[in-house]
Chain A
């Protein structure tokens, strides 16, 4: 009976618990860099135009606990996809692009010996991109919501951010169930001279996981008393 009460009270507390305080610690999850492009790209002279879709892919050089990675023997790559613009706002040289929910962020693990080295190629999608970034073992799968890109078309640089939620991949079991939401951000720039042809920006970003939602054992009496106050 006591176990049932604890379980129920945890569920109740979970429903009413406030979001983690802004000052709480967050955990660095992965660090990534690469390039982005649009496909389809109805108007190559615009970014975020209706009918386009945003993609980014590249290398994940650093992965952090609770992920268990082997960077000595494996290559880790990422692929962001299914990001479709729904709103574009222009303010001077700045542009804000908001995307529909349901984007995805994938981390793939591919053996260095015998695996396929990443190859951006040119004018993606092509014979090696995204395929050489999405082969091997799907290590982490997550969704991207509230994804937003901010660009300064005058300087050629900007940033993006979005809410990230771990939903699958071989590492899902290593991520505590109460710590599967977080967020990502990155800087973007079109000012690198050696960007492969057909890619729009260079990208350098990170994903954080929010602090675990706290929980503690309680009793029905304590829960009831809390709501009588």
Chain B
């Protein structure tokens, strides 16, 4: 009975709740570039590593106090240690989808000065990834899942990649705390293209994406009486 009350209460509250004020992604970029032997538009080499580097273009939510366009500070991130699993395919030869899951992997957000990073061709080199992981480590986390989805039929050679992050370090870690006092999980997501005209030599994907915080939705036990009294106020 109590469980049913809880469920009904949640439904009622959900039905009348107004949409929360919109906050953009905590981190947005355009672009990041992906490289490494573990990155492939078709079949990744099992056991090989995928890496990516990017320059942040926007902060919002709990990181909204940071200015991505600060002329003296550059905010960059790096993905590394993502280990490719065997690529699976779906569909006939004319419409083949390639899905590669990755295990392990970390992500780091850095604030460095001066603004010195660039997507120099043919990484790794003197600029990549060193200029994307210099300065102060603001956030670090580990991936609990990560995958890429590509295909052989899209005109502009487009797909996507996505992963979930458990944040565990960095000077701003506490800003990501949710209602339970723990950092909210991150959702790394976005589209990618391997169209040669927007790629840089030596990189496999150009990625346009962002990170959102998937904070658990708070819930608390209640009773019919409390719910009724709430609506009598």
Residues in B lying within 8 Å of A, measured CB to CB: 19-20, 22, 24-25, 28, 30-31, 57-58, 90-92, 95, 97, 99, 147, 149, 151, 153-156, 158-162, 187, 189-193, 195-198, 208-210, 212, 214-217
Contact A152:B97 (CB < 8 A) given known A91-B92, A161-B155: yes
Q: Which of B30, B189, B217 contacts A206 (CB 8 A)?
A: B30
Chain A interface residue number, banded:
35 or more
Please pick, from B28, B30, B91, B189, the residue contacting A94 in the complex, using a CB distance under 8 A.
B91
Complex CA gap A91/B153 in Å reads: 13
Closest Cβ–Cβ distance, residue B79 to chain A (whole Å): 15
Q: In the complex where A33-B28, A191-B162, A192-B212 touch, is A94 in contact with B97 (Cβ < 8 A)? A: yes
Distance of A160 Cα from B158 Cα, bound (Å): 7
Contact B19 A120 (CB under 8 A): yes
Q: Is the CB of A155 within 8 A of B190?
A: no
7 nearest interchain CB pairs? A187-B191, A91-B91, A187-B160, A187-B190, A92-B90, A185-B158, A193-B214
Closest to B195 in A: A22
Q: Which residue of A lies closest to B151 (CB)?
A: A150
Provide the bound-state CA to CA distance between A147 and B227, in Å. Answer: 47
Q: How does the 8 Å CB contact mask read for A179-196 relative to B, with 1 for contact and 0 for none?
A: 000010111110111101
With A22-B196, A192-B214 in contact, is A187–B208 under 8 Å at CB? yes
Kindly state whether residue A96 has any CB partner on chain B within 8 Å.
yes
Q: Which single member of A61, A91, A194 contacts B28 (CB below 8 Å)?
A: A61
Cβ-closest chain A residue relative to B189: A189
Binds B, one of A5-13, A24-32, A100-108: A24-32
Query: Complex formed: what's the CA distance from A27 to B187 in Å?
Result: 28
Q: Is the CB of A183 within 8 A of B19?
A: no
Establish whether residues A62 and B190, one from each chain, have CB atoms under 8 Å apart when the complex forms: no
What's the minimum C-beta distance from B21 to chain A, rounded to whole angstroms?
9
> With contacts A185-B193, A193-B215 known, is A158 near B149, CB below 8 A?
yes
Q: Which residue of B lies closest to A31 (CB)?
A: B30
Please name all residues of chain B whose beta carbon is closer than 8 Å to the beta carbon of A208 when the two chains form the complex. 198
Contact A150 B91 (CB under 8 A): no
Q: Find chain A residues with CB under 8 A from B216 CB.
A: 193
From residue 181 to 218 of chain A, which have CB atoms closer than 8 A to chain B? 183, 185-189, 191-194, 196-197, 202, 204-206, 208, 211
Known contacts A23-B196, A91-B91: A185-B189 contact under CB 8 Å: no
Chain B residue numbers with a CB within 8 Å of A189 are: 160, 162, 187, 189
Known: A93-B90, A202-B189. 16 other contacts (CB 8 A): A22-B195, A22-B196, A33-B24, A33-B28, A61-B58, A96-B153, A120-B22, A150-B97, A152-B149, A157-B160, A159-B191, A160-B191, A191-B187, A194-B214, A205-B191, A211-B197
Q: A23-B196, A59-B24 are in contact. Are A161 and B149 (CB under 8 A)?
A: no
Indicate if the CB atoms of A194 and B149 lie closer than 8 Å. no
* Contact B162 A25, beta carbon cutoff 8 Å: no
CB neighbours (8 Å) of A23 from chain B are: 196-197
Q: Knowing A22-B196, A92-B90, say if A61 contacts B208 (CB, 8 Å).
A: no
| Known interface pairs A62-B30, A192-B212, A194-B214; A150-B154 also in contact (CB < 8 Å) | yes
A146 at the interface (CB under 8 A from B): yes
Most B Cβ at <10 Å: residue of A62, A93, A187, A191: A187
Contact with B along A77-105 (1 / 0, CB 8 A): 00000000000010111101000000000
Q: Which residue of B lies closest to A210 (CB)?
A: B197
Residues from chain A with a CB closer than 8 A to the CB of B153 are: 96
Minimum Cβ distance to chain B for residue A64 (Å): 10
A148 on interface, CB distance cutoff 8 Å: yes
CA of A50 to CA of B95, assembled, Å: 22
**13 interchain pairs, CB-CB under 8 A:** A22-B196, A62-B30, A91-B95, A120-B19, A146-B155, A148-B155, A150-B97, A155-B99, A155-B162, A194-B212, A202-B189, A204-B208, A204-B210
The answer to whether the Cβ of A166 comes within 8 Å of any Cβ in the partner chain is: no
Taking the complex as formed, is A65 at the interface, i.e. its CB lies under 8 A from any CB of chain B?
no
Which A residues are CB-close (under 8 A) to B159?
150, 159
